[in-house]
Amino acid sequence: MANGTTVAAVLGTGIMGAAMARNLVSAGMEVRVWNRTREKAEPLAKSGATVADSPTEAAEGADFLLTMLPDADITVEAVGDGALGALSEDGVWLQTGTVGIEGNDRLAALAGEAGVAYVDAPVLGTREPAEQGQLIVLASGPEEAREQCEPVFDAIGSKTLRLGAAGAGSRLKLVTNNWIAGLLGVLGETMAFAETLGVDPERFLEVIEGGPLNAPYAQMKGRMMIEEDFPPSFSLKLARKDVDLMLEAARAEGLRLALTEAVAQRYDDAIAAGHGEEDMAAVYEAVGSSGGEAT
Using the predicted structure, report yes or no on whether residue 183 has a pLDDT greater than 70. yes
CA–CA dist 21, 191 (Å, integer) = 36
Q: Which residue ranges form the domains of the chain, and what is each CATH number?
A: 7-164 (3.40.50.720), 170-286 (1.10.1040.10)
Q: What is the pLDDT of residues 186-238, one digit of tens each?
A: 999 999 999 999 999 999 999 999 999 999 999 999 999 999 999 999 999 99
CA–CA dist 13, 39 (Å, integer) = 10
Asked if residue 234 lies in contact with residue 280, where contact means CB atoms within 8 angstroms, the answer is: yes
CA–CA dist 132, 101 (Å, integer) = 28
pLDDT band, very low/low/confident/very high, at 158 (cuts 50, 70, 90): very high
pLDDT band, very low/low/confident/very high, at 293 (cuts 50, 70, 90): very low
The pLDDT score that the predictor gives to residue 3 is 59
Contacts of 266 (CB under 8 A, 6+ apart): 185, 188, 189, 283, 286, 287
Q: What is the pLDDT of residues 38-92, one digit of tens each?
A: 999 999 999 999 999 999 999 999 999 999 999 999 999 999 889 999 999 999 9
pLDDT band, very low/low/confident/very high, at 294 (cuts 50, 70, 90): very low
The pLDDT score that the predictor gives to residue 291 is 39
Using the predicted structure, report yes or no on whether residue 5 has a pLDDT greater than 90. no
Using the predicted structure, report yes or no on whether residue 292 has a pLDDT greater than 50. no
Q: What is the pLDDT of residues 130-143, one digit of tens each?
A: 999 999 999 999 99
Q: What is the pLDDT of residues 10-25, one digit of tens each?
A: 999 999 999 999 999 9
pLDDT band, very low/low/confident/very high, at 4 (cuts 50, 70, 90): confident
Q: Which residue in 157, 112, 225 sits closest to 16, CA to CA? A: 157
Rg (CA), the chain: 20
State what percent of residues in the chain have pLDDT above 90: 94
Element (DSSP H or E) covering residue 128: helix 127-131
Q: Are strands 117-120 and 92-95 parallel, antiparallel or unpaired?
A: parallel
